[in-house]
Amino acid sequence: MAEYVAPTREIRFVLDHVIDMAELLKLEPFQEVSDDLVQAVLEEGGKFSSEKISPLYAVGDRQGSVLADDGVKTPDGFKDAYQAYVENGWNGICGPVEYGGQGMPQVLGTAVQEMMASANQAFTLCPILGQGAVEALEAHGTEEQQKTYMEKLVSGEWTGTMNLTEPQAGSDVGALRTRADPQADGTYRISGQKIFISWGEHDMAENIIHLVLARTPGSPEGTKGISLFIVPKYLINEDGSLGEKNDLRAVSLEHKMGIHASPTCVMSYGDNGNCVGYLIGGENQGMRCMFTMMNNARLNVGILGLCAAERGWQMALDYARDRRQGKAIGSTSEGKSPIIEHADVRRMLMTIKSTTEAVRAIIYLNALALDMGRHHPDGEVRRKYRGLADLLTPISKAYGTDLGVENSSLAVQVFGGMGYIEETGIAQVFRDARIHPIYEGTNGIQAMDLVGRKLAMDGGEHWQAFLGMTEDFIAAMPEIGELAQYRENLSRITADCRESAEWLLAQQKQNMRDVAAGSVPFLRLMSMVVGGYLMAKAAVAAQTRLESGTGNGDEDFLRAKIATVRFYGEQVMPTAFGLKEMVMGGDSLFYAIEDDHMAL
């Protein structure tokens, strides 16, 4: 299997010419982040990804993590690679400066995370979870809690987890039963069991800080009665050193379809009645605290979908160049043709390439919006960017992960029969990707979040602002003949998206089941509008650089960019033409057959 190669030129093009990171870098917190520094971060991040963690990708899949008497053992090389990751400062790249972080913008951290997870997603899942813990502590922790945990979490010396799911609850978080009984010293005793806890136990870091949702005695039913607790694997002494082991353990590891190196644990708390937890954010405020972690996690999972698509793309392209089979139509060369010359293989490769580039742009814009929403000095500008980030988060997560599965499946198809053979390695990409649409709220939940909450937010201001911006861009697009069809198609689906959104908002007052029925096709429709707008920006930027002579030796790259954008607009975008009818079709056919008759 070929090792991953970071697409640093493509990433830099998106940062500079599609989402315009330069505007962000003008803000006071980031004025020392120079172009040279950005390039150095990308180059070194790509180098670390390809040299240190990509070689462990197949090793992790074959060996997996294993539960032993003294805890979970990770595959060969993982522990050393993680120590190198921490020592090189990668974990703290976006961390708060006051706790030892480097304070880089999240959008640059997103680019680094893409490279790391494309190289080895099972490995990268571990530090991703720590990011959520840092955000929760920064937003809701007491000064003492921040002093105790933040520095080690930011550096990566300690890792974090999110403990939400229980066997009887699943996505219905309000059904959880884990208890938190208050003690005279202000601590709580945690008791219960959690499932599907990624990296809940491992040997790569000296401590694991679990963030656990639980109920205090007498709390209200449902989500209103949930609180969040810090539950460290090892208790912390007053001087900051590690104390005795807490009363918690990994009972078992799930046997999964993919990401075998990432230990997915069943965690048990308080088997001996002495699991110490510390309340964070106040009693019955667990959902508020959880969503601080969850929004971060949803964007991160979208990045994982992008990474599956990128890794699958690289492997499929390499194979298609090398594999010779048959004679391509019109070929004048001697012997068999590389399969990349066959039209159907080209169709699959260009589909993967164009949609992957669209998802990358969406995710990077989402991260930029989060940065601007936190750091812009103007309060009204911050509010608008936060609204944009809220709108884009379910799109990044769901469209990104759907395409991760679709594109890695296409990559298997490019390999043909050899794709079904584990030795080629492409099957691992597909297997690993399949969890992403389920992670952190299934994509159906993301669609309902988009249509049920985000469309109506602030009176519909944010989706209307985005569609208005898209419409203005379409109207102002320069007359580039080869983009005429693209422009027409983008205009059509943007109009369909506006009409669909207005219909869904009207249905919210009449029949919420109609809204639910139309939610998934609407999310795909709006995703393609966002992706189409950003890809159009990419094409215009590429054409401008070609015409102005500022391509700096990138002329072939820029011409390929325009061709890729055209493929997205003329071959992918038309698949959205029927989505409006699906959105507005209502719920009646969903329930036209009685439950008992479904099997007839």
Helix segments in 220-285, DSSP class H: none
CA distances from 459 to 22, 401, 462, 502, 505 (A): 31, 29, 8, 12, 10
**Tokens in use for 286?**
């667990």
DSSP string, 365-410: HHHHHHHHHHH-S-HHHHHHHHHHHHHHHHHHHHHHHHHHHHHHHH
Token pair 């690289």: residue? 314
Strands 227-232 and 248-253: unpaired
Task: Return d(Cα 42, Cα 550) in angstroms, integer.
Answer: 22
440 is catalytic: yes
**What's the CA gap between 146 and 149, in Å, rounded?**
5
Return d(Cα 135, Cα 112) in angstroms, integer: 18
Alpha-carbon dihedral 372, 374, 380, 384, rounded to 10 degrees: 60
Nearest residue to 199 (alpha-carbon basis) of 86, 77, 78? 78
Locus of tokens 């890792």? 159
Task: Report the C-alpha gap between 415 and 427 in whole angstroms.
Answer: 10
| Sign of the torsion formed by the C-alpha atoms of 310, 105, 297 and 134 | positive
Instruction: Provide the phi-psi class of 404: left if phi over 0, else alpha when psi is between -120 and 50, else beta.
Output: alpha
Nearest-angstrom CA–CA distance, 490 and 471: 9
Structure-derived torsion over alpha carbons of residues 410, 411, 413, 419, reported in degrees to the nearest 10? -150
As given in the structure block, the two tokens for residue 446 are 């993301």
Q: How far apart are CA 430 and CA 434, in angstroms?
A: 6
Angle between helices 121-140 and 143-155 (to 10 degrees): 160
**CA-derived radius of gyration, the chain:** 24
Question: Closest Cα partner for 133 from 91, 86, 78?
Answer: 91
Strands 158-163 and 207-214 turn out to be: parallel
Kindly report the number of other CB atoms within 10 A of residue 240's CB atom: 11
Sign of CA dihedral 279, 284, 287, 288: negative
Contact 193, 163 (CB under 8 A): no
For 86, residues 6+ apart whose C-beta sits below 8 A from its C-beta are 155, 156, 157
Residue with tokens 């990804």: 49
CA–CA separation, 471 and 481 (whole Å): 19
CA distance 308 to 295: 20
163 close to 133: Cβ distance less than 8 angstroms: no
Query: Minimal CA–CA distance to 364: which of 20, 1, 8, 49?
Result: 20
135, 151, 166, 440: the active-site residue: 440
Report CA dihedral (176, 179, 180, 181) to the nearest 10 degrees: 150
Residue 149 tokens read as: 């945990």
Q: Point out the residues that are catalytic.
A: 440
